[in-house]
Amino acid sequence: MSSAHKNGSLGALTLGALGVVFGDIGTSPIYALRESLNTAGRELYDIYGVVSLIFWSLMLVVTLKYLVFVLRADNNGEGGILSLFALLPSKVRNATKGTKYFFVVFLLLGTALLVADGMLTPAISVLSATEGLKTLNPELASLTVPLTVFILVVLFGFQYKGSNALGKIFGPVILLWFATLGYLGFVKVIEHPEVFQALLPNYAIDYVLHHGFHTFIILSSVILAVTGAEALYADLGHFGKRPIRLGWIFIVAPALVLNYLGQAVIAIQEPGEDKSLFFALAPNDATRIYLVVLATLATIIASQALITGVASLSRQAVRLGLLPRLKIVHTSSTVIGQIYVPAVNLIIGLGSIFLVVNFKTSSALANAYSFAISATMLMTTIAFGYVAAEKFKWSKKTLFLIIPILILIDLSFFLATVTKIFKGAWVPLLIGAAIAYLMWVWRKGQAALETALQKQEMSWEEVEAEIKSGSVSIIPDTGIYLSASAMKVPQALIAQINNLHSCPKEILIVSIIQGDVPVVTGKPILKEVNDRVKQLYIWVGFKQDVNVQQMIIDNVMSSEEEKECTYYLADRKFLESPQGSLKGMTEKLFGILHRNSAPASSYFGLPENRVITLSTQMDL
């Protein structure tokens, strides 16, 4: 099992999970009930009905769906939508048409929406916290947007330094946050203990039955209470199932429920006032200042966890062939998962700031945020059902008992948020569709490239024939090439023979084999292809990086011998003509993605001063 949680104590892992896994859902009380009641109304009947809907949403979505069922679908201990993608049979992952292909596109959109979520979460979370300033003094309301932008600039601007040092305080700060949530809620609840009635399911059921279509409008705000539920699954590999389940059952869920009930009491006692229910829990200005500061810290931590998650997601997408190579910087020498992806950080950082500047309030952002959440959760459930049937071989009886119920819950929320398409929900849809389209173009381009390269293949017998004919000169050197198979002559060597009419005396082929699991622990294997050629097989998981130079030194030759070698890489320039399988526009976009991908030399850890890149023109 390749999880990072094998050596941690249960208490430490549970505390760590609080800071990373539950930061997002833990900050939902700042705005979730407020937005729901703004939609539903503030009569006693509305308050009880909405609080009941929130409570049972937490129980059904988080406890039942994620903790009981979805956490079972781990890929060697890892979770997340791309882990589900990797669990799919290769015939599904590589499909190019039919229902299987549609399913792949569906998952691409789900992955893309998580990136959109990476823009929305910092924006709405930090903005909702800084809005607490106006509860201290209404004149401070004008500071919320510039202060939020400043915090986001600092947050994204310092990502290159990593979050390992700050990560040590994430758990304790969020633990303090949940303690504060629970305490403030409890103080209000004991003033009006009748509010516990709202936890009975009949209030939620009755509210739904009596409101008809309007229930969908209300559910589009209620779903804000389960924001961050996807993190329970996405961060499975960091902490494991037990710490996540224990953290939810004994700390997070009780604190959230008490806080929502406490806010309900405020709404009951002051039904006519349109105020921030969360900050109204503070009994005085001193407590309110403390709450604003703590809320800001909590939302920054929640945002940091999601930023790190999106960086990890982008690396997985590259490994699974969904995105071009990206520059990845490791910000910690001891923690493998601490990475910084400059391109992704810039995109989500600018996107988040743009959303704050344009929407200006957390209420205005709520519609966009709720759609991204509901769509991602629905796609995860459908993918989980497919994997449960295809990979885990659940019986038809079990599938029909469980999956339709989970889909019905998520579909209800999704249809609810669709009603907000023209009120902001179009934002994550547009962002997600654009990113999914780029992933589709990359996959299609890679498939077309593979087909085109097969037409240019040479056999080792043909190479030897060229050498014996005297048309190819032998270089007294060891050439190292990257190639998927020893049976195929590397494209760089083909270009070298055809264009430079030369070939190294000794050849080492390095084959990096992408596994369907997060982490591969097996050692590389060295094989002899013929008298001239050897091949090093390196297996790598989709959450791992590889340093080819170090692998060669560790498994093939000494560092002194390696310094005498030359690395050869192949590159292509695409003609972008209207002919071929990609046609003009798609090939042009694929060419742009290809040109802007991270250089293979740095991505695979090759010594830049000993790399020769041979470029050829192609029409796909």
pTM of the model: 0.85
Is the separation of the CB atoms in 365 and 121 below 8 Å? no
3-state DSSP assignment of residue 461: helix
Helix axes of 32-40 and 253-269: crossing angle, nearest 10 degrees? 40
H or E stretch at 244: helix 241-247
**What does the mean pLDDT of the chain come to?**
88
What integer pLDDT is reported at residue 540 of this predicted model? 87
State pLDDT tens for residues 104-137. Answer: 888 888 889 988 998 999 999 999 999 999 988 8
Contact residues for 511 (Cβ-Cβ < 8 A; gap 6+)? 482, 483, 484, 485, 486, 535, 536, 537, 538
The pLDDT value given to residue 107 = 82
Q: How confident is the model at residue 4 (pLDDT cuts 50, 70, 90)?
A: very low
Task: Please write the tens of the pLDDT for every residue from 542-596.
Answer: 778 888 999 999 999 999 999 999 999 988 887 666 666 677 678 888 888 988 8
pLDDT > 70: percent of the chain = 94
Is the pLDDT at 160 greater than 60? The verdict is yes
Average pLDDT over residues 206-224: 90
pLDDT for the residue numbered 102: 78
For the cut 80, the answer to whether the pLDDT of residue 99 exceeds it is: no
In order of their start, the domains of the chain are 10-445 (1.20.1740.10), 459-618 (no CATH)
Report the run of H or E that residue 239 belongs to, with start and end: helix 236-239
Contact between 127 and 361 under an 8 Å Cβ cutoff? The reply is: yes
Q: How many residues does the chain have?
A: 620
- In the prediction, which pLDDT does 332 show? 67
Highest mean pLDDT of the ranges 143-152, 523-532, 598-607? 143-152
Categorise residue 162: left if φ over 0, alpha if ψ from -120 to 50, beta otherwise. left
Distances (CA, A) of 428 to 108, 329, 366, 605: 14, 27, 11, 35
Of 76-85, 163-172, 189-198, 344-353, the poorest mean pLDDT is in 163-172
Chain CA centroid to CA 370, Å: 17
* Contact (CB, 8 A) for 561 and 533: no
pLDDT at 3 over 50: no
| pLDDT (tens digit per residue) in 56-80 | 999 999 999 999 998 888 777 777 8
Mean pLDDT of 304-310: 85
Question: 364-405: per-residue pLDDT in tens?
Answer: 999 999 999 999 999 999 988 988 888 888 888 999 999 999
Tell me, what's the pLDDT at 121? 92
- Looking at this protein, which amino acid is placed at residue 371? F
- Inform me whether the pLDDT recorded for 31 exceeds 70: yes
Q: What is the pLDDT of residue 6?
A: 47
Instruction: Give the C-alpha distances (Å, rounded to integers) separating 230 from 430, 561, 604.
Output: 21, 49, 31
Instruction: Look at residue 337 and tell me whether its pLDDT is greater than 70.
Output: no
pLDDT of residue 335: 57
Alpha helices (runs of H) in 277-394, residue ranges in sequence order:
285-319, 342-359, 362-390
Query: Is it the case that residue 449 has pLDDT exceeding 80?
Result: yes
Instruction: Please report where in the chains the tokens 């703590």 appear, as a residue.
Output: 294
Band of the pLDDT at 28, cuts 50, 70, 90? very high
What percent of the chain is predicted at pLDDT more than 90? 49
Q: For residue range 229-251, list pLDDT tens digits in order.
A: 888 888 777 778 898 999 999 99
Average the pLDDT over each of 62-76, 96-110, 148-162 and give the range with the smallest value: 96-110
Mean pLDDT of 214-227: 92
More confident position, 494 or 94? 494
